[in-house]
Chain A
């Protein structure tokens, strides 16, 4: 009796130890890979990083040059895409959570989910066909629209989820005071979900700030500082792509440094998201 219990006990302890080490190993692999990527980029990029690099525009091989125009271009593109993508995405989310009922809403939700899964290069080709071809030239505007199209479904779904987290009792409380539906949504529900929606928005911005493919056919890239939204514009990702594809070692080093800047930018956005969400609790 006692030996039997002892044996069962030991095999339980062994399998427990095995499974614990297995999960630890998997975690180590995943986190380790991420850490190696970050460390490698930092080591490769830090050498070419200086103030000149951050504010200058690209120059021919051998003359140095920087990514100032690409940083500015990326920010402009993010600005355009946020101006279109965030309001539209939030409106779709409000529709899905508060307004739409029944069949139409589930069709819309299905379409939004499908849009989330569309490869970003397809979005780029689409915008090329509907904006770049008619306008007959690449533009910052077209790039912003392509990124906005990627943002809309992400923002829409996070907004919907955040609005659904607002307790139903708040809606009833406002309705019971004689508030019409639209005032309940605008005055009570949206403010209550504001920090969650802001988180979703920031995550969407972080996501599109790393996109390259949709920009290749839309914003195209440029060697100069932007002067108009109606002309091609540089972006960090496309600049990295161009530098990395070149045959020159010097430009490869610049690509690493630009990558480091991009990673820092995305990390910064993610940290802001964390701070925003923490404030709620």
Chain B
């Protein structure tokens, strides 16, 4: 695969961490404005601080990978981007998370609309105990996106094709989603997220429970999807980060240590800590 042939200029510049120095002022012109812009984000579970002063920009239509040891806060950070942490009681957050220039934690933000725009795929595939068709149609139905049955069927087919699952399930759309294999279930969950056409796709270790073949299918899929979507992927697997991402962010103990072009990150990182982690000296 020629996954590393993407131009390098789409990558985010390096962010200074942990100093709270804002080196870039978000530009007014939409072409250069990052899709996601996070400033000084602190996050707490009860009294435990899970994220410390995270500042990062995610440009449009790139794949950014979050790497780091278990418990470093990368999943927590991912979940702040669609306010999924709101579900967990006794969590608190300060700082700014801007998507398309709007602070998603500002009072009055429509969380439902936000989650429609920022889709999510979870570590463990979580298809609903419904038919394959109904799983993909769920988001379309609840958001009343389609107006006719044929339009709904068309969007479901499109989403399944985008998730590279259509050919495997087109003859059994009415059967239970739980009858699919693990890898198929995960692609079904991706199709479910794609059906409502989000702009950003968050993936929390989407391939960690899958075998190598299913994993490579998901990775190819990510590569295809970045033409249309901004993708943020959390992964434990550094080879995976190297294969699929344009930019990589390294988290350690709730701090963002380094953000860099993936190639540079894995060959000549700026930070000593990053190098130690990547070369397997800890974590």
B236 at the interface (CB under 8 A from A): no
Instruction: State whether A173 touches B196 (Cβ < 8 A).
Output: no
Q: Which residue of A lies closest to B142 (CB)?
A: A179
Instruction: State whether A177 touches B129 (Cβ < 8 A).
Output: no
Question: In whole angstroms, how far apart are the Cα atoms of A101 and B90 in the complex?
Answer: 12
A87 at the interface (CB under 8 A from B): no
Q: Which residues of B contact A191 (CB under 8 A)?
A: 129-130
Q: Which residues of B contact A179 (CB under 8 A)?
A: 112, 138-139, 142
Contact string, B204-240, partner A, CB cutoff 8 A, digits 1/0?
Answer: 0000000000000000000000000000000000000
Question: In whole angstroms, how far apart are the Cα atoms of A179 and B196 in the complex?
Answer: 12
Instruction: State whether A192 touches B128 (Cβ < 8 A).
Output: yes
Please choose the segment from B4-12, B114-122, B246-254, B273-281 that sits at the chain A interface, where 4 or more of its residues have CB less than 8 A away. B114-122
Q: Which residue of A lies closest to B120 (CB)?
A: A176
Q: Which residues of B contact A169 (CB under 8 A)?
A: 122, 124, 126
Instruction: State whether A170 touches B196 (Cβ < 8 A).
Output: no
Give the total number of A-B pairs whose CB atoms are below 8 A apart: 64
Please choose the segment from B36-44, B60-68, B81-89, B161-169 that sits at the chain A interface, where 4 or more of its residues have CB less than 8 A away. B81-89
Instruction: State whether B119 touches A176 (Cβ < 8 A).
Output: yes
Q: Which residues of B contact A198 (CB under 8 A)?
A: none
Give which listed residue, A101, A172, A180, A183, contacts B126 with CB less than 8 A. A172
Instruction: State whether B142 touches A178 (Cβ < 8 A).
Output: yes
Q: Which residue of B lies closest to A167 (CB)?
A: B126
Q: Which residue of A lies closest to B127 (CB)?
A: A173
Q: What are 29 sample pairs from A and B whose C-beta atoms fall under 8 A apart? A: A167-B126, A169-B124, A170-B126, A172-B120, A173-B192, A174-B128, A175-B87, A175-B115, A176-B82, A176-B84, A176-B120, A176-B193, A177-B115, A177-B116, A177-B138, A177-B139, A177-B192, A177-B193, A177-B196, A178-B112, A178-B113, A178-B139, A178-B142, A179-B139, A180-B112, A180-B142, A183-B142, A187-B142, A188-B138
Question: In whole angstroms, how far apart are the Cα atoms of A176 and B126 in the complex?
Answer: 11
Q: Which residues of B contact A175 (CB under 8 A)?
A: 84, 87, 115
B94 at the interface (CB under 8 A from A): no
Interface centre among A101, A167, A173, A174 (most CB of B within 10 A): A173
Question: Taking the nearest CB of chain B, how far is it from the CB of A254, in angstroms?
Answer: 48
For chain B residues 15-29, which have a beta carbon within 8 Å of chain A?
Answer: none
A137 at the interface (CB under 8 A from B): no
Q: Which residue of A lies closest to B112 (CB)?
A: A178
Give which listed residue, B84, B138, B139, contacts A172 with CB less than 8 A. B84
Instruction: State whether B128 touches A178 (Cβ < 8 A).
Output: no
Question: In whole angstroms, how far apart are the Cα atoms of A191 and B138 in the complex?
Answer: 14
Q: Which residue of B lies closest to A102 (CB)?
A: B89
Q: Which residue of B lies closest to A188 (CB)?
A: B128
Question: In whole angstroms, how far apart are the Cα atoms of A172 and B84 in the complex?
Answer: 8
Question: In whole angstroms, how far apart are the Cα atoms of A179 and B144 in the complex?
Answer: 11
Question: In whole angstroms, how far apart are the Cα atoms of A178 and B120 in the complex?
Answer: 10
